[in-house]
Structure 1
Amino acid sequence: MAASSNVPPESISKVVHSADGTPIYAEALGDPSKPALVFIHGFVVSLICFDDIFSDPKWREAVYLIRYDTRGHGRSGKPDAAEAYESRRMSEDYMAVTAAFGVTKAFIVGWSMGGSFAADVCAHPGPDVLHGIVFMDCVPFCQPAVVMGITTPALGALVPGLLTTDDVALFSRTILEFIESCAYDKTRMSYRTRAALLGDSILQPPAVRNAAFTRTTDPAPFLKAGATLPLLFLHGREDEHLVAERVLEVIQPSFGERLEVHILEGVGHGPFIDAPEKTRELVLDFVKRVVGNV
């Protein structure tokens, strides 16, 4: 099936079914013999946020690109029960996607809340299915106290509007500010991408938005995996959502020398938006050092 996103026609799209039957929309592009990178988007948006990466020939010549809409987002299923967003379900979605494209071991490349899926996978089935992890301005795992401790006051002020279930005007104002704040240089986010991401938010019912935002993860398996699993940490100095130093306080003791840190000046919450070439260089260099043959 040809993909319907703004990517080359040779990309492949599939709707796979997770263990509980939830349909998960996914796309892949490139040479399956190369190292696989699974891109996982953040809260309320969809895989569309990675269009520029998937349309960049330097990415697809080097690695096998996979991305999917996490449950509750984009073109994937949107169950509204809170238990549908438990950690095991998130991992089952990831495993269903990688199996559908014949991948047994990959790098997770998470953006924002998408980074928390690495903790889900480390818990179920375990870190052996991963070569490594790439965090792009990420929430490391979903624990309310941790999440609130690493967020900026600006993002904290947006949370009530993002989670409202009955104030349409408040949500409309807040979601626009939320999407706009993902880029430091507002001109780097195209009108098409901005409109698409805003459209994604309208597809998500309020109950689903709340369930996806408030889910919890057991951090212990992820932190334990830091003893052997390499992690690339990319973070924009001007991030309006997350404070890099606070995220590092959470993960650095566990990952130690396996943690590679880059704080990017003049970059906001989306390094692949504000600094696409630098982001590509750092990620591909990391992949090459971990598995070679890139």
Structure 2
Amino acid sequence: MIAGVVGAGGAALAVRVAGDPARPPIVFVHGWAQSGAVWANQFADPDLLREHYLLAVDLRGHGSSDIPDDGYDNPAVWAEDLAAVLRLAGSPATVVGWSYGGLVITDYVRERGCAELAGIVLVGALTEIGKNRPGGAIGSLMRDAIPGALSEDPALALPTVATLTAGMTAEPASGGETQRRIGATLSVPPRVRKALFKRDTGSADVLSGITVPTLVAHGTEDRVVDPAAAAYALGKIPGATARWFPGVGHLPFAERVDEFNRTLREAAVGRKG
């Protein structure tokens, strides 16, 4: 089922919802140039559906959400967008951020503290962005993809996005799944793909001020977001715990579905607000 919420500036945001709204909520925040559909394996998990209310937002400019002209470089905008989803959740939620989604969660904490958060799970996540920002360390695959993946020129963008997408997993994904991910990226307008990188944001003080239980999950073979970014978050967030996925790339929730879902269920225990 798709629900709608209104984010910053009146932007309409699409939110996939499943499970019992009376159960403890888990809110999923996807990464750069994807959509809430990346969490399909979590939405298909019978244990997660039985135990939790699941919500996966399409960020502004992505998926079925509105594509505003601006706001992509503004932490207050991302914070308000996430706050709108948390209001739909109805009670303090465990918030799961993958890749750029980790930066969105960090923006929320920057602007609003840990209000309405029961816990945080960072998955292959950024918490900073900009040159020489350790919480935003990207891997070789992502470095090679810029600027081609941001280009208006299809002759540059298409092969670059295909290479980037195919390399996100340590082991090859199915052709159909890889093509679906490529399609999701290319459906995000180039100006939005580019705007998401037009930021220079440090987060050391923000991370140090997190007051809810936090799990940092990362694939050891991630070539999109360097594992050093996870190590940075672990060193800054008080009491944060690590869950490394050996031999896994940028998509632990798709590459090791059962293992990731068990980890997520365990992380959500005791965070029921």
CA distance 1:79–1:17, shift in 2 (3 Å): same
Note if 1:126 corresponds to 2:113. Answer: yes
Structure 1 segments, 4+ long, off by >6 Å, are: none
| 3-state SS in 2 of match to 1:121 | helix
Name the counterpart of 2:161: 175
The alpha-carbon distance between structure 1 residues 108 and 87, as it changes in their structure 2 partners (threshold 3 A), is: same
Change (3 A) 1:218 1:23: farther
1:75 and 2:64 correspond: yes
User: Can you give the 5+ residue segments of structure 1 that lack an aligned partner in the other structure?
Assistant: 1-11
CA contact (8 A) 1:119 1:219 kept: yes
Q: How many angstroms apart in 2 are the aligned matches of 1:47 and 1:124?
A: 23
What do you get for the CA RMSD once the two structures are aligned? Answer: 2.1
CA contact (8 A) 2:133 2:202 kept: no
- Residue correspondences, number: 273
Q: Does 1:184 align with 2:170?
A: yes
* Aligned twin of 2:242: 261
Partner AA of 2:229 in structure 1: V
Once the two structures are TM-superposed, the CA of residue 45 in structure 1 deviates from its matched residue by: 1.0
CA distance in 1, matches of 2:156, 2:113: 40
Which has a greater percent of helix? 1
Gaps of 5+ in 2: none
Contact 2:141 2:167 in 1 (8 A): no
State the partner residue of 1:285. 266
Residues 221 and 249 in structure 2, CA contact (< 8 A), matched pair in contact too: yes
Corresponding position of 2:187 = 203
Deviation at 1:270, TM superposition (A): 0.5
Q: Which one is further off, 177-186 or 130-139?
A: 177-186
1:48–1:193 Cα contact (<8 Å) kept: no
Match of 1:138 among 111, 118, 125: 125
TM-score by length of 2: 0.92
After the TM superposition, which residues 16-95 of structure 1 pair with which residues of structure 2 at under 5 Å, given as runs?
Answer: 16-81=5-70, 83-95=71-83
Is structure 2 residue 216 aligned with structure 1 residue 233?
Answer: yes
Is the Cα–Cα contact under 8 Å of residues 106 and 131 in structure 1 kept in the other structure? yes
Does the 8 A contact of 1:230 with 1:255 survive in 2? no
Residue 177 of structure 2 aligns with which residue? 193
Distance of 1:102 and 1:114 partners within structure 2: 17
Question: C-alpha separation between the residues in 1 aligned to 2:135 and 2:236?
Answer: 20
Identity %: 28
- Displacement of 1:124: 2.4
Contact 2:141 2:164 in 1 (8 A): no
Rate the CA distance shift 1:217–1:71 in 2: closer, same or farther, 3 A. farther
Contact 1:15 1:24 in 2 (8 A): yes
